[in-house]
Structure 1
Amino acid sequence: MLRNLGDPRYRLTTNFDLADFINGQGLVDLDLSGASFTWSNRCVGTDLIQVRLDRDLISVEWIQHYIYSLNSMVRIGSDHLPICLMTEPKTGLRRRFSFRFKKMWLSHPNISNSVKDWWNVQVDGFAMFQVAKKLRHVKERVKKWNREVSGDIFVQKSAIQEELVLIQDKVKHEGYVNDNFSKESEVLSKCLNIISQEETFWR
């Protein structure tokens, strides 16, 4: 059976024909962590409407093969709260991703000279051994450079998003009372500004 079918909030947001189809197919509505609702009309007082519109439906067979978590994310440019499904096989095997040089790094004015300096490190041994050691050295230095150069913007972005999560959590429990509306708008503006800075940095 589909969970929460008797929940009044669920009945307000779900078409009964769709609910019959979901039940007939044996699909499961995953529990969402972090929020009770995924859409708000952002109105003040008794005009405020908050409902769970966004869902993730999966089969029982799928659950048997995957570990999962469905979490709400911070809302920035939409009246919908994004939701993120994280999964991994129950075997515990994780895919290892190879290092790739990102094209956007070439837009930074200092990266070319830095790579030349990192490549010119002194290495002894056969020619192919030197190439392998230099490639490894450049890779490690590029990763470190990326963390240091772009990290400040990412730290600011993370802090602002945490602030946005807090104010949106207040709205979830209190509605748009007192200065919640203006506070959320202020933090949203800061969030969009830092995102614009991040895009400009890599342009």
Structure 2
Amino acid sequence: MRAISWNCRGIGNPRSARALYDMVRRWKPKIVFLMETKSKVKRMDKIKNRIGFANGLIVPSRGHSGGVALLWTREVNLDINSYSGSHIDAIFKESEGNFQWRITGFYGHSETHRRYESWRLLAFLHSQFQLPWLCLGDFNEILLVNEKVGGITRPQQQMESFRNVVNFCSFLDLGYVGTDFTWCNMQEGENRIQFRIDRALANTEWIGNFEGARVYHLVDSTSDHCALFFTNSPPQHVSNAKRFHFEALWSKNEECRNIIESSWGMGVDLSTPEGFMVNLKRCASELSNWSSSVYGHIPKKIQSKRNALSALT
């Protein structure tokens, strides 16, 4: 089973929609949970169709904020239990045997004084079913002090409230592969703040049935949040990836500079070789996507012109 959870910070932006399409194409998830879509049902239906998903439950945004959506492919057998502007809870029925388990996409309140409402909701969801349970999303809170860098120290009471509901639900953190933090305020130097607020939690019954489950932090420049990619099998990469080439034509377009500036250094430690390579790959991906939408496939156009000239001569 493969799933993606992402606080996309507005999927109406063409770059965000393209980033989601690229994620789905590369990692081939069966389920996608999106938060802060800032979109209505009609727009989300278009997104669902573009990424090739047959089914979905969409909770529209309120004005220009909020909005969650759970999308799944045709072969997934999934029943919705409940939903709100902060969660979507469903039961997943495996195709083989009668095994059922629960998946919940969760979005914690961004306002600190309302965070208790999120924990009360999570406790209520726990009381409804006794099934193997996976819960993933943006909880807007950390469990430990070392899950935050920069800014003022997180009050112990805030973290304690989150830890209490995690323990009440008998959840264990599934850990992660990749960068240590999932959110960045996009500032530099002493003003930079980073959190690990996006995560996947599961109870022991679920973990016992999905040995080898992994959560990957996928950095994307179109949101200040990493996406979570969950899999219990080796990730499938696109095998026909082409080598990146910077085109001189791009440097004459002011938007090229904006693409590089917006995608460089987000949530990654530039002082390490690994972080530097992540930035290079992200910039290359963003520039390639931008070039395709603005200029089309340049090599194909060049070849077409050559063919036309050859025909004339």
Larger radius of gyration: 1
Query: TM-score under structure 1 normalisation?
Result: 0.45
- Bigger fraction of residues in strand: 2
